[in-house]
């Protein structure tokens, strides 16, 4: 799978010039926190990771999520002066890695010590080749690892509250385990059911629910890379919606275009349930609420689908 690379625009250059004098403030903020004063400053590439940091750190951390809008596309992000300032003051950074949020590394370069940044792709152990799916926040076991890593990082900066961080991480993982149990129930009931996707975004979650991706690879690759789907591939994908073999369509709302809309309409007309997914948090939900809702939506779709495996 060819990974798309984020392009920083003129806004980053403007931010750099505006905040050149602020770059030295990052080490001072971190030193203050290590000495026990204030909250731990965290900067996350998206609000998904910001939410997890807040779950583990609670009121002992202050989190700045660079991408925080549900309608934002992380692949075409434009940096702001506020983002640059947040990076300069951070004691802990969180990036997805794997080519997903390259803007974070470019923002942090020369400002935030790489040793202070958690790279979730490296943490996951899942990045093993060109077919790597970098949408790791849909991998619940990886998010469990992240919670533990955050507890370790926060405890090193604020040892007096290490017990709180450990307890918060444990509670977070306990809720994750409940979501995984729900998905295990879906897998037991519908193992092997075919699913279609517009992009690989939710594949980790779908696989945990026992679903098999039946989408032509050329379709999802083209959509992910922002290129046109070949006519024959689009036809095959539309036919997949109408031939009665697909139990649901997993639809990425944040990269909607004419070709994904055509597939969605075909699914709706054929009675194939459409389950919406996003790459950032929906407004008003934290990470755990979001994942619980995603799992419930998968279960509901399969319960009404005409093509679930028996």
Q: What single-letter DSSP state applies at residue 38?
A: S
10-161 and 191-304, same CATH topology: yes
- The domains of the chain are located at 10-161, 191-304
Q: Quick check: 165 pLDDT over 80? A: yes
Q: Is the pLDDT of residue 236 over 50?
A: yes
Contact indicator for 144, 173 with CB cutoff of 8 Å: yes
**pLDDT tens track for 77-128:** 777 889 999 999 999 999 999 999 999 999 999 999 999 999 999 999 999 8
Task: Provide the mean pLDDT of the chain.
Answer: 87
Q: What is the pLDDT of residues 17-65, one digit of tens each?
A: 333 333 333 333 333 444 335 899 999 999 999 999 999 999 999 999 9
pLDDT per residue as tens digits for the range 130-150 = 889 999 999 999 999 999 999
Question: pTM of the entire structure?
Answer: 0.86
Characterize the bridge pairing of strands 194-197 and 117-119.
unpaired
**Superfamily in which the 10-161 domain is placed by CATH:** Nitrogenase molybdenum iron protein domain (3.40.50.1980)
Topology of the domain comprising 191-304: Rossmann fold (3.40.50)
Range of weakest confidence among 45-49, 129-133, 161-165, 299-303 = 129-133
Higher pLDDT, 129 or 62: 62
Helix (H, G, I), strand (E, B) or coil at 170: helix
Cβ neighbour number for residue 266 with a 10 Å cutoff: 17
Q: Which two tokens stand for residue 226?
A: 């922002």
DSSP 242-297: HSS-EEEEEEEGGG--HHHHHHHHHHHHHT--EEEE-SSPPTT--HHHHHHHHHHH
């Amino acid at each position: 799978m060819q990974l798309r690379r984020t392009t920083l625009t003129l806004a980053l250059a403007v931010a750099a010039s505006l905040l050149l004098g602020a770059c030295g403030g990052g080490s001072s903020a971190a030193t203050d926190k290590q000495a026990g004063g204030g909250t731990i400053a965290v900067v996350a590439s998206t609000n998904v990771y910001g939410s997890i940091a807040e779950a583990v750190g609670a009121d002992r951390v202050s989190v700045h999520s660079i991408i925080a809008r549900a309608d934002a596309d992380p692949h075409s992000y434009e940096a702001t002066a506020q983002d640059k300032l947040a990076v300069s003051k951070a004691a802990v950074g969180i990036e997805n890695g794997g080519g997903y949020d390259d803007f974070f590394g470019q923002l942090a370069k020369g400002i935030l010590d790489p040793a202070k940044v958690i790279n979730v792709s490296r943490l996951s152990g899942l990045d093993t080749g060109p077919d790597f799916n970098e949408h790791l926040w849909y991998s619940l076991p990886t998010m469990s690892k992240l919670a533990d890593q955050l507890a370790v990082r926060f405890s090193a900066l604020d040892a007096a509250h290490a017990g709180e961080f450990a307890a918060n991480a444990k509670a977070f993982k306990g809720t994750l385990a409940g979501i995984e149990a729900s998905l295990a129930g879906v897998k037991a009931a519908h193992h092997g059911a075919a699913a279609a996707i517009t992009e690989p975004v939710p594949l980790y979650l779908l696989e945990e629910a026992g679903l098999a991706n039946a989408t032509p690879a050329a379709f999802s690759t083209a959509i992910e890379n922002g290129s046109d789907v070949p006519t024959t591939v689009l036809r095959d994908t539309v036919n997949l919606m109408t031939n009665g073999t697909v139990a649901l369509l997993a639809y990425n709302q944040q990269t909607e275009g004419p070709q994904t809309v055509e597939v969605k309409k075909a699914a709706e007309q054929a009675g194939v349930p459409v389950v919406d997914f996003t790459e950032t948090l929906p407004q008003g939900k934290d990470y755990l609420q979001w994942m619980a809702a995603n799992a419930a939506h998968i279960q509901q779709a399969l319960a009404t689908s005409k093509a679930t495996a028996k």
